[in-house]
Chains A and B, each alone.
Chain A
Amino acid sequence: QKEVEQNSGPLSVPEGAIASLNCTYSDRGSQSFFWYRQYSGKSPELIMFIYSNGDKEDGRFTAQLNKASQYVSLLIRDSQPSDSATYLCAVWWGSNYKLTFGKGTLLTVNP
C-alpha cells in the first residue's frame, strides 16, 4: 500500500516567520512530489513540484526532497496571513498512474 503521511497540525506561526511542513511516503519507487495549497472550501492549487534530491526554490517557497529518507518538505519564508491554508503533499508513483495525497497540514499565520 502506497501511503503519504503528514502531520495534520494545526501549525501556527507568527507573520514573517518560516513555516516548515513535512511529509513522508511509504515506497521508494515514487517519482514525483507535489505540494498543493487548499484554502477552506476551495480546490487544491499546485504551488511546487520536485523530482530530484535536494532543494528547489520558487519565490518564498522551497521544496526539499530526500529520497533515501523518504521525506519531502516545504518551507515558506516570510510567512503571510494569506498563506493560512491546508497544505497537501502528493506523491506520484508512475507504476500505478495516480497521484496519492496526504491528509494535509493546516497552517495558520498569525498577524
Chain B
Amino acid sequence: DAGVTQSPTHLIKTRGQQVTLRCSPKSGHDTVSWYQQALGQGPQFIFQYYEEEERQRGNFPDRFSGHQFPNYSSELNVNALLLGDSALYLCASSSSPGRSGGYTFGSGTRLTVV
C-alpha cells in the first residue's frame, strides 16, 4: 500500500522563479493538504483540496496556488519566489477531513531559494 508520494525531494531555485511541487495521496485518500515548515517551526497550513476544489486556505499570499486532479493527486505552485519561501513543503492526505486518525504525510520537498 503506497503512502503519500512527493516529488521532487530537493529543489534549488533562484529568486523570482516559479516552482511546482507534486503529491500523490495514499491509496483510499481523497483530501490533500499542503504545509510549509520552516526550520525550527511547526508545519504551517497552506491550503487543502477536496473534490478538485480548494476547500480551505491558510494565511499565505496568492503567489501560492494549487490544483487537484481527478485521481486526487495535487500540485502546489509558487510564483515569484522569495528567499523566505525556503522551507520543507509537506503534502498530507486523508480520507475527508479526518477524525479517523489524522493525516499521513509524504516525505516532503526541500525547497531552497537562492
Footprint of B on A, CB under 8 Å?
A: 4, 6, 31-32, 34, 36, 42-46, 49, 51, 88, 90, 92, 94, 96-104
Footprint of A on B, CB under 8 Å?
A: 33, 35, 40-45, 48, 55-56, 58, 88, 90, 92, 97-99, 101-108
Residue from the list A51, A88, A92 in contact with B42, Cβ < 8 A: A88
A-B contacts, CB under 8 A, total: 65
Q: List 28 A-B contacts (CB under 8 A).
A: A6-B42, A36-B102, A36-B105, A42-B107, A42-B108, A43-B108, A46-B101, A46-B103, A88-B43, A92-B97, A92-B98, A96-B56, A97-B48, A97-B55, A97-B56, A98-B33, A98-B48, A98-B56, A99-B33, A99-B102, A100-B45, A101-B35, A101-B43, A101-B45, A103-B41, A103-B42, A104-B41, A104-B42
- 7 additional A-B residue pairs with CB within 8 Å, beyond A32-B102, A43-B88, A99-B45: A4-B42, A42-B108, A44-B90, A44-B105, A45-B105, A97-B55, A99-B103
Across-interface contacts of A103 in B (CB, < 8 A): 40-42
B46 to chain A: closest CB distance in Å? Answer: 10
Residue from the list B56, B99, B107 in contact with A43, Cβ < 8 A: B107
Whether B99 lies near A99 (C-beta < 8 A) is: no
